[in-house]
Amino acid sequence: MAIEADVITVMGKFGLKGVYRVRCQAKDTKGRTKILVRNVVGPIRVGDKLMISEIDMDTAVSIE
């Protein structure tokens, strides 16, 4: 099941293939807000929506 996340910052572009590192905000299954850092291929800007397949607990920061 995919979870929708909002892009809150674009941290930068790296590599030759147009990979961007973004910080996004998503709600987990328990309703808590998580801040995640993900790599995205292709054009991306603040405010875009991402569909994330999973939220790893070790890479997320919980905001309550």
Domain that holds residue 12: 3-63
pLDDT tens, position by position, 24-56:
998 877 788 889 899 999 999 999 999 988 766
CATH code, domain carrying 59: 2.40.50.140
Instruction: State how many domains the chain has.
Output: 1
Structure confidence at residue 1 (pLDDT)? 72
Residues in the chain: 64
Structure confidence at residue 48 (pLDDT)? 95
Structure confidence at residue 32 (pLDDT)? 83
